[in-house]
Structure 1
Amino acid sequence: MVGVVFCVVSFFILNCAAQVRYDPNWESLDKRPLPKWYDEAKFGIFLHWGVYSVPSFGSEWFWNNWKGGSKETVSFMKQNYPPNFTYQDFAIDFTAQHFDPNAWAKLFVKAGARYVVLTGKHHEGYTLWPSAYSFSWNARDVGPNKDLLGELAVAVRATSLKFGVYHSLYEWYNPLYLSDKKSNFTKNNFVSQKIIPELVELVQNYKPEVIWSDGDWEATDIYWKSTDFLAWLYNESPVKDTVVVNDRWGIGTSCRHGDFYNCKDKYNPGVLQPHKWENAMTVDKSSWGYRRNVNYEDFHTVKELIEVLVQTVSCGGNLLMNVGPTSDGRIDPIFQDRLINFGRWLSINGPAIYGTKPWTYQKDSVAPVWYTSSKSLVYAIVLDWPPGNTLSLVSGVSAFKANVTKVNLLGNPENLHWEFVNNTVSIQFPDKATVKCDWSWSLQIQNGATNEVNDHYYN
């Protein structure tokens, strides 16, 4: 009899949950719980790839810089292309001839990523899928003659990674958009005839589990019909239960609305945030797209990238690390090097990252150490090897209980000796040459207590 009652109650709860509907306003939409897969994933790969990858000069804003009169960009065009050359002429050379989506997906798995976000359409308006709303300005009609987005989506999902899409709301030189802008956005033909149908097409055909919106800053969310689209996305779409979106849906929405906040590019506040957030940053410090004029020192080192990940996750964020493929579909060896070595570190230290939650403290007050937690475990991620092989912690003292707590370095199962010394915990590290890790090291602290802070990301 007890079992029957349990089943009935469970069905009732699930049925009620299924009936939750969201109205097209922020008050209602902001009540949607964050799908747990996103918080648990912690790390994703961002890919900026488009027609701008052909000139590969300056940044992905090449067209805008050129038309805006950038001296360097104008000079580059004069030196390399005839006077009558247009930006659209670049599309023919966006061949993607060496694009191997399965190889890309395998690389992302090696990197330790749990999701991938591709620029389906940047501000240039060119779509990497054969959109019915981007005639003759998409990857099927001009350039590679392929559905690049669709091919990568299939390959990524075959590895069990989640697939997402970056989508720019505005397009620099689309006549419909410029007409709406000229009317001070009292007209919204661009949104009604292009953007909303395009977004619905993207969701229905490819079912992305991340929609990374951008290009919203010139007009309000009312003009963009953002809440109308999101209500449909959460209520009716094929990904309504699993999709997550960011916060770029119109003037004033950034850092206020969305399943997770970006706030600004390369956002890394360094303190715990009350809402789920993401640090979208680049391996190439100065560009999201591939650059032919990049220098070696322009790339973050593996150690720098790991430090950004650790700081981000400790403060409750996800890291979305960007690389820029070449126009012919290759991921440059230096990007591969960073991703593969980043994955090497995660292969040992992943338990301190994936599925963790912020702890009581994010950073130790005396040591270059950041904390995460998972049930009965606290992780102390040490960014610099301690002098004399002895690490002293102050903020981490509360994780230690005399005669109960066990401490070891991930990848090295032997327990480490520790003791209380003058209100600090002193931990004796092994000889560095015997440790199976480079760049930074994760202490696993097990004390039998529940160490996770309250879960404040799910309603």
Structure 2
Amino acid sequence: MMNEANSFEELSERELPQWYADTPFGIFVHWGAYSVSAWGEPIGALGTIEWETWFKHNPYSEWYYNTIRIEGSPAQEHHREVYGDMPYDGLLDMWKAEKFDPTDWATLFRDAGAGYVIPTTKHHDGITLWEAPRTEGRNTVARGPQRDLIAPIADAVREAGMHFGVYYSGGLDWHFRPMAPHTTDESVNDTGRPKDAEYGAYCAQQCRDLIDRYQPEILWNDIQWPDDAKNFGPDGLGTLFNYYYAHVPTGVVNDRYGDTHSDYLTSEYSHLLANEGDKAWENCRGIGYSFAYNQLEDESHYLTGYQIARMLTDIVSRGGHFLLNVGPKADGTLPELQRQALVDLGAWMRTGAKDALYGSRPVSTEDVTAGAGVWVRGVDKEGTRRLFVDLEEADPRVAARATLTVGDEQVNVELPAGRPGPVIY
């Protein structure tokens, strides 16, 4: 166990826990009152849309509370048509989670090859999925589902042999610290977020409660942390980090606490790609364009299991982790297209892909020359290099052959019809 740090610089000397270094694939879960409305315009992926368009037509259905407050937005019009003048919190009372089966979730995630699971505990709407301190009944124990939703997920995930983490929005809380609706990236990350120490103390108290109750091995913060609490005072962020590492020595934190401390960096869809470098990093995204369930998304917006397998392989070959999100419906069931994608991914993982990827590190492929249209990625595990081979424009329903040269040897790799992902060579 590390000694208590007195600065963020001291915290940066901490070594990355081995379990995280060796576990490249996790499942994110965005579930909240926004899963009742389940509405966002599927205009595209983050990082590919101009900010001015993004906020007014936000494809992230978990941002519904913000989007319906933007005058003239299609989400605002939709809310008025469907819910009239009902305030956002009416969605919390409509959320029942009546078919929630955490064991089913955990089994599906484990069989898909995941090694860790991170559910949202408080998103930007400020509603907590456990009986958090100072929420005054604005949580899922007092309202809506009328139960702690985090404890059963934690128990099921660990019972299935995976690591458990939590998402917590420290950067934004549109209820506890109401601000004008965000319409710019600058508003989200600077001018329109709370920065005061009192809000920082509120967040720290809730995070300590999460640590005490659930001992999460990942604290996944979002957006930022209140500037006036970025210190080592009694309710400061540095003190919270010390508390966390003392109680969960194998724990890790991401980089969304501002310029303070992190165990690893993050990117999101095609945003923040500069973070994908030498330090430990993780890319997160939904199976569709939204993290939370979006009723407007269909098969044309979703990744298939085959596409996820390719994406995972590419990320791991570059030294990254992949946090793939699922968005349950309000009743607790997973959309069938999302479930099928995970089932298909699991079929590929069982071909030997999981064993090759877990515990692996990037490896040079300079001696590998691919034929025209051939897709190749490589990893090293315990001194053995494994190549993942496919075609750039692949139709997995059709058998094909990929030709490549490895050193002085020409290799023909058979790509069978119905393959669930890249073929391991």
> Which range, TM-score by smaller chain?
0.7 to 0.9
Give per-residue Cα distances to partners, 1:62-103, cap 9 Å, x unaligned. 0011112252111101211222x1011111111100001111
Question: What residue number does 2:255 align with?
Answer: 247
Match of 2:355 among 351, 357, 360: 351
Match of 1:63 among 62, 65, 79: 65
Amino acid of the residue matched to residue 355 of structure 1? Answer: G
Match of 2:412 among 428, 432, 436: 428
Q: Which moved more, 1:353-362 or 1:70-79?
A: 353-362
Structure with bigger gyration radius: 1
Amino acid of the residue matched to residue 82 of structure 1? Answer: G
Q: Are the equivalent residues in 2 in contact too, given 1:282–1:323 (CA < 8 A)?
A: yes
User: Shift of the alpha carbon at 1:34?
Assistant: 0.5
Counterpart mapping for 1:75-90 below 5 A:
75-83=77-85, 85-90=86-91
Structure 1 portions without partners, runs of 5+: 1-17, 398-419, 444-459
Q: Are the equivalent residues in 1 in contact too, given 2:204–2:240 (CA < 8 A)?
A: yes
Give per-residue Cα distances to partners, 1:186-219, cap 9 Å, x unaligned. 7421112x11110000001111111111031774
* Aligned: 1:50 with 2:61: no
Counterpart mapping for 1:12-411 below 5 A:
18=1, 20-58=2-40, 59-83=61-85, 85-176=86-177, 187-192=196-201, 194-216=202-224, 219=227, 222=230, 225-234=236-245, 236-237=246-247, 239=248, 241-250=249-258, 252=259, 257-266=261-270, 269=273, 273-284=277-288, 286-348=289-351, 349-361=353-365, 366=370, 367-384=374-391, 389=401, 391-393=403-405, 396-397=406-407
| Identity of matched residues, % | 28
User: Shift of the alpha carbon at 1:172?
Assistant: 3.6
CA-based RMSD of the aligned residues comes to: 2.8
Give per-residue Cα distances to partners, 1:36-68, cap 9 Å, x unaligned. 111211111100000111111111100011112
Q: TM-score, normalised by structure 1?
A: 0.77
Amino acid of the residue matched to residue 389 of structure 1? Answer: R
- The 1:333–1:129 alpha-carbon spacing in structure 2 relative to 1, beyond 3 Å, is same
The separation in 1 between residues aligned to 2:300 and 2:148, in whole angstroms, is 35
Give per-residue Cα distances to partners, 1:320-362, cap 9 Å, x unaligned. 0001001111101111100010011011122221111111348
Question: What residue number does 1:455 align with?
Answer: none
The separation in 2 between residues aligned to 1:346 and 1:371, in whole angstroms, is 16
The separation in 1 between residues aligned to 2:191 and 2:266, in whole angstroms, is 29
- The 1:222–1:363 alpha-carbon spacing in structure 2 relative to 1, beyond 3 Å, is farther
The separation in 1 between residues aligned to 2:338 and 2:404, in whole angstroms, is 35
The separation in 2 between residues aligned to 1:189 and 1:202, in whole angstroms, is 19
Q: Are the equivalent residues in 2 in contact too, given 1:267–1:279 (CA < 8 A)?
A: no
The separation in 2 between residues aligned to 1:388 and 1:178, in whole angstroms, is 56
- The 1:206–1:31 alpha-carbon spacing in structure 2 relative to 1, beyond 3 Å, is same
Structure 2 portions without partners, runs of 5+: 41-60, 181-189
User: Shift of the alpha carbon at 1:368?
Assistant: 1.3
SS of alignment partner, residue 54 of structure 1: helix
SS of alignment partner, residue 152 of structure 1: helix
The separation in 2 between residues aligned to 1:232 and 1:272, in whole angstroms, is 28
SS of alignment partner, residue 37 of structure 2: coil
SS of alignment partner, residue 97 of structure 1: coil
Give per-residue Cα distances to partners, 1:381-436, cap 9 Å, x unaligned. 0122799735213xx52xxxxxxxxxxxxxxxxxxxxxx2xxxx311335736xx9
Amino acid of the residue matched to residue 412 of structure 2? Answer: Q
The separation in 2 between residues aligned to 1:130 and 1:185, in whole angstroms, is 23
Q: Are the equivalent residues in 1 in contact too, given 2:200–2:225 (CA < 8 A)?
A: no
Paired residues in the alignment total 384
Q: Are the equivalent residues in 2 in contact too, given 1:49–1:119 (CA < 8 A)?
A: yes
